[in-house]
């Protein structure tokens, strides 16, 4: 390299270092052209509440969540049954099925872990009855803690209807898809830790003049709700991302709960 070129490089390097040390701004090169970004889609709003209201009966309703152990040391952990017997909210039933709406609240502080009757109801060797109290308490503490649900700052999960449509299952007359009676597909908004996520849920329902019963089950990933599954020992002991959710919700026509 020529002497003049080496001198020029030293002068430029010294000038750049001096600018950093003295806090002088260094002009950045003009930014590269970026591709045009389309405006974000409008947020989907929950369905408006129209029609006859049916209030959820918490004593007759239950939500259960099955969570499964994972990791190379998973055999040292337990599968757990999380449950809520404290659901509240209202289902609104108008004439048109597509206009059904609801809002359901799941209070986190009331969640239970491994009730003996619910574990036995699974009728599976994956859920033996002998779960130590320390394991139940540790699971509940981790579940409600700041790293997962953060129940102190976000004390409930809220579920709202976005749209309801007849479910399609198999083929009917002339090859046209048909839906079993009482089966609908619900697109709902789940608000977890103040963030909204959309889920598609198959729901079987029964309705009389005084009562609505909705039930179903589905697989849900914790990450799809914006949650990070519990993990310890560098992942050797962890909770699987996918959970099994089951629910049975009983609601009665508003004003009839005191009967």
Q: What whole-number distance in Å separates Cα of residue 232 and Cα of residue 239?
A: 9
pLDDT for res 9: 38
- pLDDT of 74 > 90? The answer is no
Mean pLDDT for the chain? 81
User: Considering the chain, what percentage of its residues have pLDDT values greater than 70?
Assistant: 73
- pLDDT of 200 > 90? The answer is yes
Q: What whole-number distance in Å separates Cα of residue 107 and Cα of residue 86?
A: 7
pLDDT for res 235: 61
Name all contacts of 89-92 with Cβ < 8 Å and 24+ positions apart: 89/55, 89/56, 89/159, 90/49, 90/53, 90/54, 90/55, 90/56, 90/251, 90/254, 91/53, 91/54, 91/56, 91/212, 91/214, 91/249, 91/251, 92/49, 92/50, 92/51, 92/52, 92/53, 92/54
For 48-70, how does the pLDDT look when each residue is reduced to its tens digit (9 = 90+)? 999 999 999 999 999 999 999 88
Q: What whole-number distance in Å separates Cα of residue 213 and Cα of residue 259?
A: 17
pLDDT for res 73: 56
For 205-219, how does the pLDDT look when each residue is reduced to its tens digit (9 = 90+)? 999 999 999 999 999
The domain locations on the chain are 52-253
Domain 52-253 sits in CATH 1.20.58.110: no
- pLDDT of 197 > 90? The answer is yes
pLDDT for res 233: 75
Section 75-83 average pLDDT: 85
Bridge partners of 156, per DSSP, are 107
Section 125-142 average pLDDT: 92
Lowest mean pLDDT among 82-91, 167-176, 181-190, 228-237: 167-176
130: enclosing H helix or E strand: none
For 1-31, how does the pLDDT look when each residue is reduced to its tens digit (9 = 90+)? 444 444 433 433 333 323 323 333 333 334 4
CB environment 24-46: b (16+ within 10 A), e (fewer):
eeeeeeeeeeeeeeeeeeeeeeb
Give the SS3 label for residue 93.
strand
Section 148-170 average pLDDT: 91
Q: What whole-number distance in Å separates Cα of residue 247 and Cα of residue 215?
A: 5
For 152-162, how does the pLDDT look when each residue is reduced to its tens digit (9 = 90+)? 999 999 999 99
For 91-122, how does the pLDDT look when each residue is reduced to its tens digit (9 = 90+)? 999 989 889 999 999 999 999 999 999 999 99
Question: Which residues, other chains included, contact 207 with Cβ-Cβ below 8 Å and sequence gap of 6+?
Answer: 93, 213
Q: How confident is the model at residue 239 (pLDDT cuts 50, 70, 90)?
A: confident
């Amino acid at each position: 390299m020529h002497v003049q070129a080496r001198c020029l490089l030293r002068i430029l390097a010294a000038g750049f270092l001096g600018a950093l040390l003295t806090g002088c701004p260094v002009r950045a090169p003009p930014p590269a052209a970026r591709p045009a970004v389309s405006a974000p889609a409008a947020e989907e709003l929950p369905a408006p509440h129209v029609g006859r209201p049916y209030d959820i009966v918490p004593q007759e309703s239950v939500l259960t969540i099955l969570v499964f152990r994972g990791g190379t040391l998973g055999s040292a952990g337990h599968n757990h049954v999380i449950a809520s017997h404290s659901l509240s909210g209202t289902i609104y039933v108008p004439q048109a099925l597509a206009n059904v709406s609801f809002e359901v609240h799941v209070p986190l502080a009331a969640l239970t872990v491994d009730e003996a009757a619910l574990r036995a109801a699974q009728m599976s060797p994956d859920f033996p009855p002998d779960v130590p109290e320390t394991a139940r308490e540790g699971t509940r503490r981790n579940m409600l803690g700041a790293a997962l649900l953060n129940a102190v700052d976000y004390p409930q999960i809220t579920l709202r209807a976005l749209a309801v449509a007849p479910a399609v299952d198999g083929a009917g007359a002339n090859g046209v898809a048909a839906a079993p009676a009482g089966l609908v597909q619900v697109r709902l908004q789940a608000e977890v830790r103040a963030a909204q996520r959309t889920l598609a849920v198959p729901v079987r329902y029964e309705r009389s003049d005084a009562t609505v019963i909705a039930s179903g089950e589905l697989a849900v990933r914790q990450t799809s709700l914006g949650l990070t599954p519990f993990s310890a020992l560098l992942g050797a002991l962890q909770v699987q991302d996918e959970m099994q959710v089951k629910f049975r919700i009983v609601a009665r026509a508003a004003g009839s709960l005191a009967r």
